Amino acid sequence: MDGLVERQLGAIGEVVELAGADGIEVWLRGGWAMDFHLGAVSRPHVDVDWYCWRRDAERLAVRLGGQGWRPDPRMPAAQQLDLLRGDVELSFAYLERVAAGRVVVGAGPWAGTPLPAGMLDAPAGRIGSLTAPVISVTAQIEFKEMFPVWMPERPRRAKDAADLARLRASVGDRPAG
C-alpha cells in the first residue's frame, strides 16, 4: 500500500477511537465503506467519507481538532464537516432523525430527504485488524446507482461502475435491467 492509503487507514482508526471514546456515532460511507465491507483496499481514495449526527458535529470537530485536524476552508461547515491534516481529508455528512424515527439528510440542499431504511444497521467492516462502522451494502449500492440521477451534472464515473460491480458481487446481486 502507498503512504496515503496508510495515512487514511490511520485516520479511520483515529476517528473510530476518538468518536467512540466520546460516545459519538460515525459510519463510513463511499469508497472506504465498500472496502471495509469487502475486507481489503480495492482502489486509491481521494478522501475518507463519513456520516455523523448533526448534533455531534461540533463536539467531533473539537475532539479531532485536538489531534491536529483543521477545518477545510473550501467547504461550509453548515452543510458538512470537512477536516484536513496534511494530505488526508475527512468529510462528515450530517444525519438527522425525524419524529417518526426515520434517518434523513441533516443539512444542505437535500436536508430532510429520507435515507435508505436500515442504512445504519450494518455490521462493522474490517480491513486487517482495523474495524469501523459502515453503512449497509444496500445503501451503498443505492447511492452509487442513484448519484447520477440525483446530480445529473456529475455523471457516473468509471470507479463508481467498478464499485457497483464489486458491491453487487459481494452480495450475489445482479444489475437491474
Grid cell, residue 104, equals 434523513
β-strands 88-97, 103-105 pairing: antiparallel
Is the pLDDT score of 147 beyond 80?
A: no
Could you give the CA distance from residue 28 to residue 24 in angstroms, rounded to a whole number? 13
Q: How far is CA 127 from the centre of its chain?
A: 15
- Average per-residue pLDDT in the chain? 91
pTM higher than 0.85: yes
Could you give the CA distance from residue 163 to residue 73 in angstroms, rounded to a whole number? 30
Is the pLDDT score of 177 beyond 50?
A: no
Could you give the CA distance from residue 146 to residue 149 in angstroms, rounded to a whole number? 5
CB atoms within 10 A of CB 24: 18
Q: What is the CA radius of gyration of the chain?
A: 16
- Does residue 163 contact residue 32 with C-beta atoms inside 8 Å? no
- Return phi, psi of residue 150, to 5°: -70, -35
Q: What is the pLDDT of residues 115-141, one digit of tens each?
A: 999 999 999 999 999 999 999 999 988
- Return phi, psi of residue 97, to 5°: -120, 125
Q: What is the pLDDT of residues 58-112, one digit of tens each?
A: 999 999 999 999 999 988 888 999 999 999 999 999 999 998 899 999 999 889 9
**Residues in contact with 102: Cβ distance below 8 Å, sequence separation at least 6, in sequence order:** 114, 115, 117
Phi-psi category of 108—alpha, beta or left, where left has phi over 0 and alpha has psi -120 to 50?
A: left
Question: pLDDT > 90: what percent of the chain?
Answer: 71
**Residues in contact with 26: Cβ distance below 8 Å, sequence separation at least 6, in sequence order:** 15, 16, 19, 50, 51, 52, 60, 92, 133
Average pLDDT rounded to a whole number, residues 161-173:
82
Domains of the chain: 3-171 (3.30.460.40)
